[in-house]
Structure 1
Amino acid sequence: MTSPGSSSASLDPGTRRMLLRFAPMIYGPTLLFGLGEGALLPLLPVIAAAQGASVAQAALIASVIVVARMIGNLPAGWIVTRIGERYTMAIAGVLALAGGFGILFAPNLAVLAVAVFGIGLCASAFGLARHAFMTTRVPLAYRARALSVLGGSFRLGMFVGPFVSAVLLTVFGGESATVWFFIAMLAALILLVLVGRDPEEELRSEGALPTDKRPRIEDDVADDTGESTTGSIPLPEERGVFRTMWQFRGVLARLGLTTATLSAVRQARVYLLPLWGVSLMLDAEAIALIVGITGALEFALFYTSGQVMDRWGRVWAAVPSMVLMGGAFAGLAFTHNLSGAIGWFIVAAVIVGIGNGVSSGILMTIGADVAPPDNPAPFLGSWRLLTDAGGAASPLLIAGVTALASLPVATAVIGAIGLFGAIGFWRFVPRYIPHPPQPKRR
């Protein structure tokens, strides 16, 4: 019998088959998108500067993609509901392809900003379509592992992408090669999405899934007023995005805002760790090495998160993750002037990497757990809007608190948010999400 802590090499055959079926349709395109985006994002300020942008303008153009991702979630939910996940992913890929050409041939900063904004909108639609697809196709017993692999696929792409960009810059000597690489990844993504067979049909033909496409739900629907439930609140009829937001106001206000704190702490690490290294007067190579170790830990642990959530419940990944990251940032805030400040910085960075690694896929998994099973896209649009808003607010909070007080105070605030989020997960996850059933051993 496989132990709870076993690695992906010891997957039971049912899980392995389940995950492999999603590779051509979901994991492959996700990896390709992550590779392209990971290669392109670091060069956006450089491309903007080549168009004559100031430092502030270059930073603004680079941040446009984050804003577009956030505001694109609601219309993406509407689109997925009407044309389906596969066509949404394909259309988003085509439009992002047009955005790539826009970046390549932009005559001025305005066109460049529009192209970047369009790519952000498409990334939001593509991400929501993947999320909705997995929500309706993956059996509950495998859900966390399947979504953790999805998150790991994207993390791998984002991790490797900058290195690909560095190689392309060295070989070709210009940013256009990276943009062409982004375009090539999108073209391959579109091809996979359009020609890949629906894994749901493959699994059903093998008898691994029931013949009913959607889970059966009850006939009666009640508004989500925040009372305790044992899973997602049924929603049998098609409803608009804003009506769905009102219907699920209780879970969005409680569990949704709690997951926004996780998104905020995750995004904070991207800014806080390099800033902390700079404040300790470390050179760029040392900072890059420490941050790289953190990223490697995050990627190495992505499947562990899925195992923990599927076998012991979502709360056992969410709470430790927030305690580790929140505690690391809170403790780091008091080490800046100590004699061993650099050592404490390395320890904190490692703990943050472990904490983020064991939460891989958790935002998508919890969202899928509480989404209406027959039509999850409108709800997931609202869910992803909250989580993206948490991530977008984090750098603004860090900048504001640092300007008003100091970097250690900003770090302490992020730590407090993480610990507060841990309390929220401990309270609300058992309230809304039942312990997942165990997959049968074969």
Structure 2
Amino acid sequence: MKKTTKLTQQDWKDALNSIKTNIVREKEKKKAHQKELENELRPYFNQAAYRLGISHQQLATEIKIFQPGLTDVRTDRRLKASTYAKLIKKHNPAYYQLFESKLKSAVKAEKEYFQKKKESTLKLITADIKETCVPIKAKRKPTKHEKRANKREQQKEKLVHPLPREVSVRMAPLPISQWITVEWQDVLFEDFLIKVKYNGNLSHGYPVSESRKSFRFLRNYIKSLRLTALSILLVGNEIRQIKNAESVREMATLLRIKEQLIEDFQRGKPTTAVDMIEKIKSVSKHLLTQIALAGTGEVMCIEYLASQLAGGFKPIPAFEIIPSGNSLSTEDTFIFVLERQSKLFLVWESTVHGRATYVFKTDTDSYLDVVQAIYDYIGSPRKAKRMSLRKRDADTSNLGYDGYVTHSTFNHWQQKLEISFSQHSENH
């Protein structure tokens, strides 16, 4: 015969307290998660300017337009959800359309919060008025019948009604929270969001406004870069946080640039150097250097050029598109701007091992014209571009070409490069 254990009143109380504690904890976690989602749609001032792609001054002006009563814009505070939703709708309508329901939910939650705060304040004011204006009545002693009735009520409250013996309480399991490492080849780009593959699973989408589904055609290129893996916090299948989230947005920006260059080349549309310099403003010098390093065996040379960049300059991507039969291949090259003796030198370096380094000279006034001329030359469909430079063909005269340095040992390469800078007035 199966032995049963008799549960005492205290056992029931402990069980109920445990259930209550779990329910409260679950509610707090859900509330914290909701708050985290709302804050994502209420970014800080600097973060909002970056996402919207506008200057801090323009953002401050537009906030005042959407919040007429505001006299001073605090740059250390989060934007109101309603204001951010209007700005996103104006500057990035595609992103707004994709996350419209979440944005509206955040605006609604914000409205309810301020409404409750207003009602609470009004209640306090009303209570203070009543306490001030209404005289306090003298407390009346209860009658004998009222005393007996109160005693009976108190006795009823003390009675404990035990639960049935067979009680089964099922708590919904909490989603697993874990930090995972994700290689770039396991990042799936969609329109305005990314997903990641991990342990045979696929995450939910994480908003990245610069992302496009068409990046899937650049998967082999992304894989070849050997970029630092992403560190991602997953709760269940949902991406809650990406430690290096900025690199995702920066990489998406670069992929859009590369994709646009290929499309422009196919249409016969030239690349504008000014547009390229403007586009890479949101991309860090670190990531540009990392990409330049990823595909080259000349690591020390690239690191040296990056360390010698003139003030305010970044490595400028100059994607070389090489026609091959009926197909196109691309080669990552970069222009590094160095300054010596008040003269600017544009150093064209490829990420392909063994390619020589080509040097062009200019000055501040002619800088953009020379960069544009070099861009037009690199992006042209002509063959043997580097050989034409070495021969100083007639159509290379507007490039300010000054010479080239081959790669052998790093010390030899560096010495020859610096000699080239110091003798810039001579022809090589």
Q: Tell whether the structures are fold-level matches, with TM greater than 0.5.
A: no
- Normalised by the size of structure 1, how large is the TM-score? 0.20
- Normalised by the size of structure 2, how large is the TM-score? 0.21
**Structure with more helix by fraction:** 1
**Structure with more strand by fraction:** 2
Larger Rg, first or second structure (1 or 2):
2
By relative contact order (CA 8 Å, sep 6+), the higher-ranking structure is 1
